[in-house]
A and B are shown apart, each in its own frame.
Chain A
Amino acid sequence: MIKETNSFKLEFPSVSSNEGFARAAAACFAARLDPTLEELGDIKTAVSEAVTNCIVHAYPDSIGRIVIKGRTFSDNSIEISVRDWGKGIPDVEAARQPLFTTGGDGRSGMGFTIMESFMDRLRVRSAPGKGTTVTMSRRLTPRRP
C-alpha cells in the first residue's frame, strides 16, 4: 500500500518575484525524499514553468492568487499541483504542443514541454474564465546506503 508521507500548501500573489520563492519552497519540500541534485533541479524547473504560466497567462493584467500543493508518498514519489483562478485555457491539448504560445514577446511555447520531459506525469485541468490546475508527479530514485 502506498501511503502519503507528507504534504504542504502554499498560497501567494502572482507577482514575478515569487517565482524564485515558489520553486525554492518546492525544492525544500522535495529534499525530504533525498533526491539527487539533478532530480531537485528538474522539480525546480517544472514548478518554475507552472508558476510563471500563472503569472504571465492566467493573470496577464492583474494580481491573482496562486496555490501550490505538494505531497510525498511512501514509494518515494512526489506530486505537486499549481492552481490559479485566472483566464483558463480553451484548448489544453493544443496548448501542450511544443512551440504553442499565446504569449508573444519573451515566450517560446516550451513550458509544458519542459514540465512533461522533467516529470513523469503531467495533468492539466482548465476551464476558460475559471482557472487552471497543473498536477505533476515524479518518482525519485531510492537511494539506500
Chain B
Amino acid sequence: MKIETASQGTKLRIYLSGELDHHGARSAMRTIEDRISAYLPRDCVLDLGGLSFMDSSGIAVLLKSYKRLGQIGGRLRVENVPEQPMKVIDASGIERLLGVSCLSRPGDAARDNK
C-alpha cells in the first residue's frame, strides 16, 4: 500500500496504490487523515487508479474519508476506480451515500460532478 498526495490551492488529490485490505487499512487511514487535516481541502479526490485490490476494509476507508471531509466542509470524490474495487463498491451500496457522480472509472472524465 502506497500513498502519495498532490495539492493545488484548495484541492487535494490523494493517490492510493497497491492492495487496500484490513492489513493496510489502518495506516492508510492515518495517512489520509493526516493529509486532510494538514491541507483542509475544499475539494479532495481519492485517486484509486493504482489499486490492484480492495475489499470491505477499503469501503470503511472511503466512508471515513467522506465523513472527515464533511466535518471540514469539503467535498470528496473517488476517481479512477479500477474494475475490482468498483465491484466491491457496487456490492456495498455506498454509491448511494457518496453519490454516483462522485465515482469515476479510469478514462471517465466525462462523468464530472456538475
Interface residues of A (CB under 8 A from B): 16-17, 19-20, 23, 37-38, 41-42, 44-45, 48-49, 52, 55-56, 98, 106-108, 110-111, 113-114, 117-118
The residue of chain B having its C-beta at the shortest distance from the C-beta of A17 within the complex is B23
In terms of DSSP, what is the predominant structure of the interface of chain B?
helix
**A118 proximity list for chain B (CB < 8 A):** 87, 91
**B57 proximity list for chain A (CB < 8 A):** 52, 106-107
In the complex, whether B59 has a CB less than 8 A from a CB of chain A is yes
Interface residues of B (CB under 8 A from A): 19, 21-23, 25-26, 29, 53, 55-57, 59-60, 63, 83-84, 87-88, 91-94
Whether B87 lies near A113 (C-beta < 8 A) is: no
> Which of A37, A49, A106, A117 makes the CB contact (< 8 A) with B26?
A106
24 contacting pairs across A/B (C-beta < 8 A): A17-B23, A19-B21, A37-B83, A38-B83, A44-B53, A45-B53, A45-B55, A45-B87, A45-B88, A48-B55, A52-B21, A56-B22, A106-B26, A107-B56, A107-B57, A108-B60, A108-B94, A113-B92, A114-B55, A114-B56, A114-B88, A117-B91, A118-B87, A118-B91
| Min CB–CB distance B86 → chain A (angstroms) | 10
| Min CB–CB distance B16 → chain A (angstroms) | 16
Whether B92 lies near A108 (C-beta < 8 A) is: yes
**A42 proximity list for chain B (CB < 8 A):** 87
In terms of DSSP, what is the predominant structure of the interface of chain A?
helix
| Min CB–CB distance A98 → chain B (angstroms) | 7
| Min CB–CB distance B95 → chain A (angstroms) | 13
| Min CB–CB distance B93 → chain A (angstroms) | 7
Whether B88 lies near A19 (C-beta < 8 A) is: no
Known: A41-B83, A41-B84, A114-B91. A19 touches B56 (CB 8 A): no
Whether A19 lies near B92 (C-beta < 8 A) is: no
| Min CB–CB distance A13 → chain B (angstroms) | 14
**B56 proximity list for chain A (CB < 8 A):** 49, 52, 107-108, 110-111, 114
**B91 proximity list for chain A (CB < 8 A):** 110, 113-114, 117-118
Whether B55 lies near A52 (C-beta < 8 A) is: yes
**A117 proximity list for chain B (CB < 8 A):** 91
**A23 proximity list for chain B (CB < 8 A):** 53
Known: A41-B87, A114-B56. A55 touches B22 (CB 8 A): yes
Whether A108 lies near B55 (C-beta < 8 A) is: no
| Min CB–CB distance A137 → chain B (angstroms) | 18
